[in-house]
Amino acid sequence: MSLAKRVPIFLLRLLALGATVTATVIMVTAHDSAQVLNMTFEAKYTNSPTSKYFVIINAVASGYTLIVIFCPSKISLLRCLLVLDMIVTLLLDSSISANLAIGQVGKYGNAHAGWLPICNQVPKFCDHVTEALIAGFVASLAYFVILLYSFHNVFNLLTVKP
Amino acid sequence: MSLAKRVPIFLLRLLALGATVTATVIMVTAHDSAQVLNMTFEAKYTNSPTSKYFVIINAVASGYTLIVIFCPSKISLLRCLLVLDMIVTLLLDSSISANLAIGQVGKYGNAHAGWLPICNQVPKFCDHVTEALIAGFVASLAYFVILLYSFHNVFNLLTVKP
Protein backbone atom coordinates (compact mmCIF):
# COMPACT_ATOMS: atom_id res chain seq x y z
CA MET A 1 0.00 0.00 0.00
CA SER A 2 1.36 3.43 -0.87
CA LEU A 3 2.45 5.91 1.80
CA ALA A 4 -0.36 8.30 0.84
CA LYS A 5 -2.87 5.58 1.68
CA ARG A 6 -1.12 4.63 4.91
CA VAL A 7 -0.98 8.12 6.43
CA PRO A 8 -4.75 8.60 6.95
CA ILE A 9 -5.02 5.14 8.55
CA PHE A 10 -1.98 5.88 10.74
CA LEU A 11 -3.54 9.17 11.90
CA LEU A 12 -6.89 7.49 12.55
CA ARG A 13 -5.16 4.79 14.60
CA LEU A 14 -3.35 7.46 16.60
CA LEU A 15 -6.71 9.15 17.25
CA ALA A 16 -8.25 5.81 18.24
CA LEU A 17 -5.30 5.07 20.54
CA GLY A 18 -5.61 8.44 22.26
CA ALA A 19 -9.36 7.98 22.63
CA THR A 20 -9.24 4.43 24.04
CA VAL A 21 -6.44 5.30 26.49
CA THR A 22 -8.40 8.40 27.58
CA ALA A 23 -11.61 6.36 27.97
CA THR A 24 -9.81 3.70 30.05
CA VAL A 25 -8.04 6.21 32.32
CA ILE A 26 -11.14 8.39 32.86
CA MET A 27 -13.28 5.34 33.68
CA VAL A 28 -10.74 3.77 36.05
CA THR A 29 -10.15 7.03 37.93
CA ALA A 30 -13.85 7.98 38.05
CA HIS A 31 -14.78 8.13 41.70
CA ASP A 32 -17.36 9.86 43.85
CA SER A 33 -19.08 9.21 47.15
CA ALA A 34 -22.26 10.37 48.81
CA GLN A 35 -23.88 10.12 52.23
CA VAL A 36 -27.30 8.49 51.96
CA LEU A 37 -29.18 7.80 55.23
CA ASN A 38 -25.94 7.93 57.25
CA MET A 39 -24.37 5.38 54.94
CA THR A 40 -21.51 6.21 52.62
CA PHE A 41 -22.25 5.24 49.03
CA GLU A 42 -19.18 4.94 46.85
CA ALA A 43 -19.41 5.11 43.06
CA LYS A 44 -16.59 3.54 41.04
CA TYR A 45 -16.26 1.53 37.88
CA THR A 46 -15.89 -1.83 39.67
CA ASN A 47 -19.47 -1.50 40.95
CA SER A 48 -20.95 -2.53 37.62
CA PRO A 49 -19.99 -5.39 35.28
CA THR A 50 -20.80 -3.09 32.36
CA SER A 51 -18.19 -0.50 33.41
CA LYS A 52 -15.63 -3.27 33.96
CA TYR A 53 -16.39 -4.59 30.46
CA PHE A 54 -15.97 -1.05 29.07
CA VAL A 55 -12.57 -0.67 30.76
CA ILE A 56 -11.34 -4.11 29.60
CA ILE A 57 -12.42 -3.56 25.98
CA ASN A 58 -10.89 -0.07 25.82
CA ALA A 59 -7.64 -1.36 27.34
CA VAL A 60 -7.56 -4.27 24.86
CA ALA A 61 -8.28 -1.87 21.97
CA SER A 62 -5.45 0.41 23.18
CA GLY A 63 -3.01 -2.53 23.24
CA TYR A 64 -4.12 -3.74 19.81
CA THR A 65 -3.85 -0.26 18.27
CA LEU A 66 -0.39 0.23 19.78
CA ILE A 67 0.84 -3.07 18.31
CA VAL A 68 -0.64 -2.32 14.88
CA ILE A 69 0.87 1.20 14.81
CA PHE A 70 4.39 0.08 15.68
CA CYS A 71 4.54 -3.21 13.82
CA PRO A 72 5.24 -2.89 10.10
CA SER A 73 2.13 -4.11 8.26
CA LYS A 74 2.74 -6.23 5.21
CA ILE A 75 0.24 -6.49 2.39
CA SER A 76 -0.15 -10.19 3.22
CA LEU A 77 -1.43 -9.22 6.65
CA LEU A 78 -4.09 -6.89 5.20
CA ARG A 79 -6.82 -9.53 5.29
CA CYS A 80 -6.05 -10.50 8.89
CA LEU A 81 -5.82 -6.84 9.92
CA LEU A 82 -9.20 -6.03 8.36
CA VAL A 83 -10.88 -8.83 10.32
CA LEU A 84 -9.16 -7.79 13.57
CA ASP A 85 -10.13 -4.15 12.97
CA MET A 86 -13.72 -5.26 12.50
CA ILE A 87 -13.68 -7.29 15.74
CA VAL A 88 -12.21 -4.33 17.67
CA THR A 89 -14.86 -1.99 16.17
CA LEU A 90 -17.65 -4.42 17.19
CA LEU A 91 -16.23 -4.78 20.73
CA LEU A 92 -15.89 -1.00 21.19
CA ASP A 93 -19.43 -0.53 19.82
CA SER A 94 -20.74 -3.17 22.22
CA SER A 95 -18.95 -1.77 25.30
CA ILE A 96 -20.16 1.78 24.61
CA SER A 97 -23.76 0.66 24.04
CA ALA A 98 -23.83 -1.40 27.24
CA ASN A 99 -22.26 1.37 29.29
CA LEU A 100 -24.55 4.00 27.75
CA ALA A 101 -27.62 1.88 28.60
CA ILE A 102 -26.57 1.65 32.26
CA GLY A 103 -25.55 5.34 32.26
CA GLN A 104 -29.04 6.23 31.04
CA VAL A 105 -30.58 4.37 34.02
CA GLY A 106 -28.03 6.08 36.30
CA LYS A 107 -29.08 9.48 35.01
CA TYR A 108 -32.84 9.09 34.58
CA GLY A 109 -33.61 5.91 36.53
CA ASN A 110 -36.45 3.64 35.49
CA ALA A 111 -39.72 4.30 37.30
CA HIS A 112 -41.33 1.09 35.97
CA ALA A 113 -38.60 -1.08 37.48
CA GLY A 114 -38.29 1.07 40.61
CA TRP A 115 -34.65 1.98 39.83
CA LEU A 116 -33.85 5.47 41.10
CA PRO A 117 -31.37 7.76 39.32
CA ILE A 118 -28.03 8.03 41.12
CA CYS A 119 -26.39 10.88 39.19
CA ASN A 120 -27.81 13.56 41.47
CA GLN A 121 -25.96 11.89 44.39
CA VAL A 122 -22.66 11.20 42.62
CA PRO A 123 -22.50 13.89 39.89
CA LYS A 124 -18.67 13.78 39.62
CA PHE A 125 -18.77 10.06 38.83
CA CYS A 126 -21.49 10.54 36.22
CA ASP A 127 -19.55 13.37 34.55
CA HIS A 128 -16.51 11.11 34.29
CA VAL A 129 -18.60 8.29 32.81
CA THR A 130 -20.01 10.72 30.23
CA GLU A 131 -16.49 11.84 29.27
CA ALA A 132 -15.31 8.22 29.04
CA LEU A 133 -18.30 7.41 26.83
CA ILE A 134 -17.49 10.33 24.51
CA ALA A 135 -13.85 9.17 24.26
CA GLY A 136 -15.03 5.60 23.59
CA PHE A 137 -17.38 6.88 20.91
CA VAL A 138 -14.55 8.80 19.21
CA ALA A 139 -12.43 5.62 19.20
CA SER A 140 -15.31 3.58 17.78
CA LEU A 141 -15.90 6.19 15.07
CA ALA A 142 -12.18 6.27 14.20
CA TYR A 143 -12.21 2.50 13.78
CA PHE A 144 -15.36 2.68 11.67
CA VAL A 145 -13.64 5.18 9.34
CA ILE A 146 -10.51 2.96 9.26
CA LEU A 147 -12.73 0.07 8.12
CA LEU A 148 -14.48 2.18 5.47
CA TYR A 149 -11.14 3.48 4.20
CA SER A 150 -9.69 -0.06 4.10
CA PHE A 151 -12.71 -1.30 2.10
CA HIS A 152 -12.28 1.62 -0.24
CA ASN A 153 -8.60 0.78 -0.78
CA VAL A 154 -9.27 -2.92 -1.36
CA PHE A 155 -12.01 -2.15 -3.90
CA ASN A 156 -9.74 0.35 -5.61
CA LEU A 157 -7.07 -2.34 -5.91
CA LEU A 158 -9.74 -4.48 -7.60
CA THR A 159 -10.63 -1.85 -10.17
CA VAL A 160 -7.07 -0.61 -10.74
CA LYS A 161 -5.69 -4.09 -11.45
CA PRO A 162 -5.61 -4.77 -15.21
CA MET B 1 -20.34 -13.41 -8.26
CA SER B 2 -20.86 -17.11 -8.93
CA LEU B 3 -23.92 -18.97 -7.68
CA ALA B 4 -21.76 -21.14 -5.39
CA LYS B 5 -20.61 -17.99 -3.61
CA ARG B 6 -24.09 -16.51 -3.44
CA VAL B 7 -25.80 -19.52 -1.85
CA PRO B 8 -24.03 -19.35 1.57
CA ILE B 9 -24.70 -15.59 1.82
CA PHE B 10 -28.34 -16.16 0.80
CA LEU B 11 -28.73 -18.85 3.49
CA LEU B 12 -27.03 -16.65 6.11
CA ARG B 13 -29.33 -13.77 5.21
CA LEU B 14 -32.37 -16.07 5.55
CA LEU B 15 -31.08 -17.12 9.00
CA ALA B 16 -30.52 -13.46 9.95
CA LEU B 17 -34.02 -12.55 8.71
CA GLY B 18 -35.62 -15.35 10.74
CA ALA B 19 -33.62 -14.35 13.82
CA THR B 20 -34.36 -10.60 13.64
CA VAL B 21 -38.08 -11.18 12.98
CA THR B 22 -38.16 -13.65 15.91
CA ALA B 23 -36.30 -11.20 18.18
CA THR B 24 -38.70 -8.36 17.26
CA VAL B 25 -41.87 -10.44 17.72
CA ILE B 26 -40.72 -12.00 21.03
CA MET B 27 -39.71 -8.61 22.44
CA VAL B 28 -42.91 -6.84 21.34
CA THR B 29 -45.16 -9.60 22.73
CA ALA B 30 -43.16 -10.00 25.97
CA HIS B 31 -45.53 -9.13 28.78
CA ASP B 32 -45.92 -9.95 32.45
CA SER B 33 -47.42 -8.29 35.50
CA ALA B 34 -47.00 -8.60 39.23
CA GLN B 35 -48.72 -7.30 42.35
CA VAL B 36 -46.26 -5.38 44.51
CA LEU B 37 -47.64 -3.69 47.65
CA ASN B 38 -51.20 -3.70 46.23
CA MET B 39 -49.97 -2.02 43.06
CA THR B 40 -49.94 -3.74 39.71
CA PHE B 41 -46.53 -3.62 38.07
CA GLU B 42 -46.60 -4.25 34.35
CA ALA B 43 -43.46 -5.30 32.46
CA LYS B 44 -43.34 -4.66 28.71
CA TYR B 45 -40.78 -3.55 26.19
CA THR B 46 -42.01 0.07 26.07
CA ASN B 47 -40.92 0.54 29.72
CA SER B 48 -37.28 0.90 28.76
CA PRO B 49 -35.64 2.96 25.99
CA THR B 50 -33.12 0.12 25.58
CA SER B 51 -35.83 -2.44 24.74
CA LYS B 52 -37.46 0.02 22.33
CA TYR B 53 -34.07 0.53 20.65
CA PHE B 54 -33.66 -3.26 20.43
CA VAL B 55 -37.09 -3.64 18.76
CA ILE B 56 -36.45 -0.78 16.31
CA ILE B 57 -33.01 -2.06 15.26
CA ASN B 58 -34.22 -5.63 14.83
CA ALA B 59 -37.21 -4.43 12.78
CA VAL B 60 -34.94 -2.25 10.61
CA ALA B 61 -32.51 -5.17 10.16
CA SER B 62 -35.45 -7.41 9.15
CA GLY B 63 -36.57 -4.88 6.54
CA TYR B 64 -33.04 -4.41 5.21
CA THR B 65 -32.41 -8.18 4.99
CA LEU B 66 -35.74 -8.72 3.21
CA ILE B 67 -34.90 -6.05 0.60
CA VAL B 68 -31.39 -7.43 0.04
CA ILE B 69 -32.68 -11.02 -0.32
CA PHE B 70 -35.32 -10.17 -2.90
CA CYS B 71 -33.53 -7.47 -4.87
CA PRO B 72 -31.05 -8.78 -7.39
CA SER B 73 -27.60 -7.64 -6.27
CA LYS B 74 -25.26 -6.46 -8.99
CA ILE B 75 -21.50 -6.60 -8.66
CA SER B 76 -21.47 -2.77 -8.80
CA LEU B 77 -23.53 -2.70 -5.62
CA LEU B 78 -21.09 -4.96 -3.75
CA ARG B 79 -19.19 -2.07 -2.20
CA CYS B 80 -22.38 -0.35 -1.03
CA LEU B 81 -23.80 -3.65 0.26
CA LEU B 82 -20.65 -4.39 2.27
CA VAL B 83 -20.85 -1.00 4.01
CA LEU B 84 -24.59 -1.42 4.71
CA ASP B 85 -23.97 -4.95 6.04
CA MET B 86 -21.34 -3.56 8.36
CA ILE B 87 -23.67 -0.82 9.64
CA VAL B 88 -26.45 -3.37 10.27
CA THR B 89 -23.97 -5.64 12.12
CA LEU B 90 -22.82 -2.73 14.29
CA LEU B 91 -26.42 -1.68 15.05
CA LEU B 92 -27.45 -5.25 15.96
CA ASP B 93 -24.32 -5.59 18.14
CA SER B 94 -25.11 -2.30 19.86
CA SER B 95 -28.79 -3.11 20.50
CA ILE B 96 -27.97 -6.55 21.95
CA SER B 97 -25.23 -5.15 24.21
CA ALA B 98 -27.46 -2.37 25.54
CA ASN B 99 -30.37 -4.74 26.12
CA LEU B 100 -28.12 -7.35 27.72
CA ALA B 101 -26.70 -4.73 30.11
CA ILE B 102 -30.20 -3.75 31.26
CA GLY B 103 -31.26 -7.41 31.37
CA GLN B 104 -28.33 -8.12 33.67
CA VAL B 105 -29.54 -5.42 36.08
CA GLY B 106 -33.09 -6.81 35.76
CA LYS B 107 -31.86 -10.28 36.71
CA TYR B 108 -29.23 -9.54 39.38
CA GLY B 109 -29.93 -5.90 40.28
CA ASN B 110 -27.11 -3.62 41.38
CA ALA B 111 -26.69 -3.40 45.15
CA HIS B 112 -24.27 -0.45 44.88
CA ALA B 113 -26.82 1.68 43.03
CA GLY B 114 -29.77 0.33 45.05
CA TRP B 115 -31.42 -1.19 41.97
CA LEU B 116 -33.35 -4.33 42.90
CA PRO B 117 -33.70 -7.27 40.50
CA ILE B 118 -37.17 -7.52 38.93
CA CYS B 119 -36.95 -10.93 37.26
CA ASN B 120 -38.26 -12.78 40.32
CA GLN B 121 -41.45 -10.69 40.07
CA VAL B 122 -41.94 -10.86 36.30
CA PRO B 123 -40.21 -14.15 35.30
CA LYS B 124 -42.26 -14.60 32.09
CA PHE B 125 -41.11 -11.20 30.81
CA CYS B 126 -37.47 -11.96 31.62
CA ASP B 127 -37.66 -15.34 29.85
CA HIS B 128 -38.99 -13.59 26.75
CA VAL B 129 -36.21 -11.00 26.89
CA THR B 130 -33.62 -13.80 27.16
CA GLU B 131 -35.13 -15.54 24.11
CA ALA B 132 -35.17 -12.27 22.16
CA LEU B 133 -31.53 -11.65 23.09
CA ILE B 134 -30.54 -15.13 21.88
CA ALA B 135 -32.38 -14.52 18.57
CA GLY B 136 -30.70 -11.12 18.25
CA PHE B 137 -27.32 -12.70 18.94
CA VAL B 138 -27.91 -15.32 16.21
CA ALA B 139 -28.77 -12.52 13.75
CA SER B 140 -25.67 -10.57 14.73
CA LEU B 141 -23.49 -13.67 14.34
CA ALA B 142 -25.04 -14.42 10.93
CA TYR B 143 -24.22 -10.88 9.78
CA PHE B 144 -20.68 -11.18 11.15
CA VAL B 145 -20.17 -14.36 9.10
CA ILE B 146 -21.70 -12.64 6.03
CA LEU B 147 -19.11 -9.87 6.44
CA LEU B 148 -16.23 -12.33 6.87
CA TYR B 149 -17.38 -14.29 3.83
CA SER B 150 -17.73 -11.10 1.77
CA PHE B 151 -14.18 -10.02 2.74
CA HIS B 152 -12.94 -13.46 1.79
CA ASN B 153 -14.62 -13.25 -1.64
CA VAL B 154 -13.32 -9.73 -2.33
CA PHE B 155 -9.75 -10.75 -1.40
CA ASN B 156 -10.06 -13.86 -3.56
CA LEU B 157 -11.12 -11.68 -6.50
CA LEU B 158 -7.92 -9.70 -5.87
CA THR B 159 -5.67 -12.75 -5.98
CA VAL B 160 -7.54 -14.52 -8.80
CA LYS B 161 -7.43 -11.49 -11.12
CA PRO B 162 -4.50 -11.79 -13.53
Could you give the CA distance from residue B85 to residue B149 in angstroms, rounded to a whole number? Answer: 12
3-state secondary structure of B90: helix
Of B78, B148, B157, the CB nearest to A83: B148
**A61, A92 in Cβ contact below 8 A?**
yes
Judged by a CB distance cut-off of 8 A, whether residue B156 touches chain A is no
Tell me what percent of the residues of chain B surpass a pLDDT of 70. Answer: 94
First-last CA distance in chain B = 17
Q: Where are the alpha helices (DSSP H) in A71-116?
A: 78-108
Of A86, A98, A162, the CB nearest to B100: A98
Per-residue pLDDT of B118-131, as tens digits, reads 999 899 999 999 99
Could you give the CA distance from residue A93 to residue B95 in angstroms, rounded to a whole number? Answer: 10
Using the beta-carbon criterion (under 8 Å), do B115 and A113 form an inter-chain contact?
yes
Could you give the CA distance from residue B48 to residue B99 in angstroms, rounded to a whole number? Answer: 9
Judged by a CB distance cut-off of 8 A, whether residue A93 touches chain B is yes
Rounded to two decimals, what is the model's pTM?
Answer: 0.92
Per-residue pLDDT of B59-74, as tens digits, reads 999 999 999 998 876 7
Whole-angstrom CA distances from B155 to A137, B149, B151 are 29, 10, 6
Q: In this predicted structure, what is the pLDDT of residue B26?
A: 96
Mean pLDDT rounded to a whole number for chain B: 90
Best to test chain A binding among B76, B112, B157 (most A CBs inside 10 Å): B112
**A135, A26 in Cβ contact below 8 A?**
yes
Best to test chain B binding among A37, A85, A108, A110 (most B CBs inside 10 Å): A110
Judged by a CB distance cut-off of 8 A, whether residue B11 touches chain A is no
Q: In this predicted structure, what is the pLDDT of residue A70?
A: 85
For A38-42, A58-62, A134-138, B51-55, which range has the lowest pLDDT when averaged over its residues?
Answer: A38-42
**B64, B98 in Cβ contact below 8 A?**
no
Could you give the CA distance from residue A41 to residue A32 in angstroms, rounded to a whole number? Answer: 8
Q: What is the DSSP letter of B115?
A: B
Of A41, A47, A101, the CB nearest to B102: A101
